[in-house]
Amino acid sequence: MTAPDFRPLDGIRVLDFTRVLAGPYATMQLAELGADVIKVEMPGAGDETRAWGPPFVDESSAYFHAINRGKRSVVLDLADRDSLAAAERLIADCDVIVENFRPGVTDKLGIGPDRVAELAPQVVYASITGFGSAGPMASDAGTEVVIEAESGLMSITGLPDGEPVRFGVAMVDIATGLSAVNGLLAALLERTRTGRGRHVEVSLYATAISAMGTVIAGESAGGGAPHAWGSAHPSIVPYRAFPARDGHIVLGATNDAMFVRLATALDLSDELSPPEWAGNAGRVANRSALEEVIERALAGMDVADAIDRLRAHRVLAARVRDVGEAARSDQATALGLVEDDQGVLVARSALGANGTRRLGRAPALGEHTDEVLADVPALSDKH
């Protein structure tokens, strides 16, 4: 059954002054929800991620294509008086602005939140920063790897006693983009009551610190200094990836009853029967010995066989897939999460199964400049 169209932002125009990842990811979500997103880029190279390749799609990187689909590109040099005047026309005719310059830069360019409030009080304005607009690090560059380091995330990522490791995907950027969308949607809802927009600010640093909530609570409650656990969990055992004969399997027992079922599924009821292992606290205290028993058992099993056994006994289990396998899996296909765009696989948002807009390819630099500016009224026509 095909879901009905879900385009709650039809008629909403978004000016996208963002680049790299968090901002473009946020505005692409808005495009998928039906908004008309106009990506404003500097002349020349535009968003620098256009060059982050190979591989390339239509002369821009696959990276750029993945997070800028469904947008229109306009080239404006905001340091130029005529271009700034054109930007002001666009601002007066839009509903949402998203920018990710360093704090204070938009004020210097003439498109800061105070100026926008004068031009177009209806505009919801979102600023995405590295470290926020206050504090000793407000003016510092806040890229993903810097934020992971400063927030403590990197200290708990990777293998025990190993080198610091960054996430395989810039998850802080992605989560920050989603936080921006949450704030924007809430502000648009508020506007239906007040008629006025609002300035919403999110930062990568705030997102990372917020994501660390359970870890921070555990450390402050006397749990000791957290560290990296690889694929394991600091307070649940077993709960990690194990090698099998033909790959790796993730399994876990999140409660005592599931642990008993796990032992039965793997024919380990005798080996896993010591009374001190009956409760999770005891299993955590005896992590190494318990996991060795499971490792020996799985070493002689194929992944598929082990998963079938564990799932038949209602135990958490999954194959560790590579990216290509996951993107082409039956589950991703069933939910319509990945589409084939002339040989290039593109991921939709998590809302895609609800019938959100299907997005076309990312625009060429300045592809829509003439079209967009011709369609925007002069400021005199707006007042």
Q: Which residues are catalytic?
A: 173
Cα 63 to Cα 46: distance, rounded to the nearest angstrom: 14
Which residue, 174, 84, 57, 184, is CA-closest to 127? 184
Q: Where are the alpha helices (DSSP H) in the chain?
A: 22-32, 62-67, 81-92, 105-109, 113-119, 144-151, 171-194, 204-211, 213-218, 256-265, 280-285, 287-299, 303-312, 323-327, 330-334, 369-374, 379-382
Is the Cβ–Cβ distance between 309 and 266 less than 8 Å?
Answer: yes
40-45: long-range pairs with CB below 8 Å, 24+: 40/15, 40/16, 40/74, 40/75, 40/76, 40/87, 40/90, 41/73, 41/74, 41/75, 41/76, 41/365, 41/366, 42/75, 42/76, 42/77, 42/78, 43/75, 43/76, 43/77, 43/366, 45/365
